[in-house]
Structures are given as C-alpha cells and as structure tokens.
Amino acid sequence: MLNILVVEDDEKLRKLFAAVLTRHGYRAVLAENGEEALAILDREFISLVISDIMMPKMDGYQLTKSLRDAGSDLPVLMITAKEDFEDKQKGFLVGTDDYMVKPIDVNEMLLRVGALLRRARIVTERKVVCGETTLNYDALTVWCDGEEVLLPQKEFYLLYKLVSYPNKIFTRQQLMDEIWGMDSDTDERTVDVHVNRIRERFKGCPDFKIVTVRGLGYKAVRCPQGGEGE
C-alpha cells in the first residue's frame, strides 16, 4: 500500500483528498502544515507528498526545500491558489515535481499522482537486495533461496526497515513509531515477537541476520557469503 502525505491546512480539503485517495487504494496520511509534515516524514514511509503552498507555521515552499536539502527526492505535488501563482518560479525552483491550481479537480489529482508515482517507481525501484535475497516492497515478498515468500505486513515492513539500513541499530521505539505509527499504544515487546517470527521464518537464509543489541534494540547484518570457504 502506498502512503501519500496530504499537507493542507483547510480541513475540508484535507478530508476530501484523503477520502478520494483512500477510495483509490492509497493510504492517506494527514498533516496541517509543513512542520507536522516533516515530523511524519521522519517516521513513516511516504511515497508522495501533496502539499498546499499557503499554510501557517511552515508553508509548502519551505517544506519542499527542507526535503530537498535533506537529499530526498520524494515526489511533491504542489497545490496553489491562483493568487499565489504570480511567483510560480518560486515553487519549482525548490524542487516541486508537479503542481495543480485551485480549485482542485480530484480526477486530475489522481492522474497526476499516478504519473508521479509511476515516474518515482521507475527511478527508485523499491527493492532491497542483500546477497541472494531480495525484498520487494510493493509485493511484500521476499525472494530467498529459490522461492518467493509473501510476508504479513508488519513482519515485512519490520524486516524491510532493518535490512534497508544494515548495521544501523533501531530502538524498539523507533521501529514502533515507523511501522505502527506514533500514536499506537501497542507494547514495545511486540517488536520482539515479530523479530522472533522473522528469525524463525528465515532461519535458513544465509544472507542476513537480525542481531539483538542488548539495551538498545535490533539491527540487521549482511552475512559475508560463501563463494569463499566456510
């Protein structure tokens, strides 16, 4: 499922967009301004941002600029009012990928979202390769040892996160925030259980291992491969 972050201060619009996106198989994540958006981006895997320009606290330009400055190439679809439009260079100079002028036609929005996602997917195939093993984010599958396994969502996202940043230690809290969402009231121990399930499932896989870092959390390590001797 693709997560789309909608950054819009007008509640009505926000809800409208969310409804439309949800209806078309995306998951909409909502923020009222750029600050909130950045916080969310920090902890959730977002595939595309739809952002208004005029907003309190942090506007769309600033938001996009922050993203680009941080080296992200997340696609951004900007929403402008006609009035804002005068300084249209501004928007694109900071790295917007596309824009729409209010009033928004939701079908147009869907088309643009589709086109941007297609492009983004082309540029960044969402796969992680680790030795002979490949994780396919879109299919929730792991190709390992000659067969493709379909994982449950939580397990997959957890594994994907860990394997995407090999050797990086994640605290349980970080993992919870990212995969369960900030406002989940699930117990931290649950992470352990899922790690256990993943370990069980891939105990035969020679390419990676999930290592416990006592007192801190977990990390994935790539295992050096046996073209060499044992």
Binding site for its own copies (CB under 8 A): 1, 23-25, 82, 86, 88, 92, 97-101, 105, 107-108, 111-112, 115, 118-119, 122-123, 138-140, 150, 152-153, 167, 169, 171-174, 177, 182, 211, 213-217, 219
Report if residue 199 touches DNA, rule: CB under 7 A: yes
Q: Smaller CB distance to its own copies: residue 72 or 171?
A: 171
Q: Smaller CB distance to its own copies: residue 99 or 208?
A: 99
Instruction: Give 219's strand partners.
Output: 211
Site string for DNA, 148-167 (x = CB under 7 A): --x-xxxx------------
Helices (H), 87-165: 88-93, 106-123, 153-164
With CB under 7 A as the contact rule, which of the stretches 24-32, 68-76, 118-126, 210-218 interacts with DNA? 210-218
Query: Pick from 204, 215, 226, 227: which binds DNA (CB under 7 A)?
Result: 215
- 101, 85 in Cβ contact below 8 A? yes
Query: Pick from 14, 112, 161, 194: which binds DNA (CB under 7 A)?
Result: 194
Q: Smaller CB distance to its own copies: residue 39 or 182?
A: 182
With CB under 7 A as the contact rule, which of the stretches 5-13, 30-38, 96-104, 184-192 interacts with DNA? 184-192
Element spanning 51, H or E:
strand 48-52
Measure the CA–CA gap between 160 and 198, rounded to whole angstroms: 11
Cα distances (angstroms) measured from residue 3 to each of 21, 47, 56, 93:
10, 6, 24, 25
Long-range contacts of 103-109 (CB under 8 A, 24+ apart): 104/13, 104/17, 104/79, 106/16, 106/17, 106/20, 109/17, 109/20, 109/50, 109/77
Angle between helices 106-123 and 11-23 (to 10 degrees): 60
Coil vs helix vs strand at 186: coil
Report if residue 186 touches DNA, rule: CB under 7 A: yes
Q: At its nearest, how many Å lie between DNA and the CB of residue 103?
A: 31
Q: At its nearest, how many Å lie between its own copies and the CB of residue 139?
A: 6
Assess whether the previous peptide bond of 103 is cis (omega < 30° from 0).
yes
> Which residues here bind DNA, judged by CB under 7 A?
150, 152-155, 180, 184-187, 189-190, 192-196, 199-200, 212-217
